[in-house]
Amino acid sequence: METRIKQAVRNNALWCHSVCHAHGRPGEFFEEIWINRAPVPRFYPNAQTLAERSSRQIDLIRELTKQGLPSGWAVKDSFAALDLTTCGFTPLFDAQWIYLPPERSSAVGSASAPELRWDIVRADQMLAEWERAWCEANHDTNLARVYLPALLEDRDVAILAARRGEHIVAGAIGNRADGVVGWSNLFVKQVRDLPGCAAGSLLTLSKIFPGLPLVGYQGGDALRGALSAGFEAIGPLRVWIFGSSP
């Protein structure tokens, strides 16, 4: 298995674990898979594979189908290697893991929007404001919090907010784990800000966590944007959903 893919996958699984742990519902790590037997925050999976297909993965996923989890829970098939249709799943989306070497981050950052001020979220009041902006940007009307204050105590997590004047207009999250920095949850209030905010968030993360590659996953137009910015696509993934979507 390519080292870069392994790093990206494990970094992402550790981030899922951190988000769940902040809710008091941490998951379990096995050699081939991470699972969470409890309900998880929305947009997060109850299982993520850490290696290519194995019978142990299928056994644990089948166990989860009998746990009485809310309909619509997901499995992140990190290598697009599983066929979960016989377990009652349908594919939700496909994407690609992406990788940006540290020497390219400054070049990417040169496209950032200079009128925006990037800050690290350090207090719950600002985190709540950040999450409201994130929900608005994604047209999400669910008021249940996903990101809780415990995440702010983790020195390996940087929740970033971009302001234009006094208002949060964009944001992103970085998590340092397994020798790389995961880049996720990029949002913008206005689509025209997307290229500059993507660049600004990457530049900010490269300064907070210097000398480390940036990784994540994207699909569709977002993937094309990441590739044009200098990321490499390093491998496929697929997210499966169980039962009907919520």
Q: Does the reported pTM lie above 0.85?
A: yes
Our count of domains for the chain comes to: 2
Burial class (CB in 10 A: 0-12, 13-18, 19+), 210: exposed
Average pLDDT of the residues of the chain? 94
Residue 110 has pLDDT above 70, yes or no: no
Lowest mean pLDDT among 94-98, 114-118, 136-140: 114-118
Residues 92, 110 within the same domain: no
Which residue has tokens 């995440």? 151
- Identify the DSSP state of 144: S
Residues 37, 112 within the same domain: no
Q: What is the DSSP string of 66-115?
A: TTTPPTT-EEEETTS----GGGTEEEEEEEEEEEE-HHHHHHHHTTS-TT
Residues 62, 15 within the same domain: yes
What is the per-residue pLDDT across 172-202, written as a single tens digit (0 to 9) for each? Answer: 999 999 999 999 999 999 998 898 999 999 9
- Residue 105 confidence (pLDDT): 80
Residue 204 has pLDDT above 60, yes or no: yes
Residues 71, 187 within the same domain: no
pLDDT tier for residue 111 given thresholds of 50, 70 and 90: low
Residues 188, 73 within the same domain: no
Residues 71, 93 within the same domain: yes
- Residue 223 confidence (pLDDT): 95
Question: Amino acid identity, residue 11?
Answer: N
What is the per-residue pLDDT across 9-51, written as a single tens digit (0 to 9) for each? Answer: 999 999 999 999 999 999 999 999 999 999 999 999 999 999 9
Residues 65, 116 within the same domain: no
Strand-pairing partners, residue 48, are 34, 76
What is the per-residue pLDDT across 49-86, written as a single tens digit (0 to 9) for each? Answer: 999 989 999 999 999 999 999 999 999 999 999 999 99
CATH number, domain of 193, equals 3.40.630.30
Rounded mean pLDDT of 90-110?
A: 89
What is the per-residue pLDDT across 121-156, written as a single tens digit (0 to 9) for each? Answer: 999 999 999 999 999 999 999 999 999 999 999 999
Tokens of 56: 């142990």
Rounded mean pLDDT of 213-218?
A: 98
Residues 116, 92 within the same domain: no
Residues 129, 34 within the same domain: no
- Residue 246 confidence (pLDDT): 43
Residues 20, 129 within the same domain: no
| Distance of alpha carbon 52 from alpha carbon 216, whole angstroms | 18
Residues 82, 170 within the same domain: no
| Distance of alpha carbon 154 from alpha carbon 152, whole angstroms | 5
Which residue segment(s) compose the domain that 173 sits in?
Answer: 99-233
Residues 114, 81 within the same domain: no
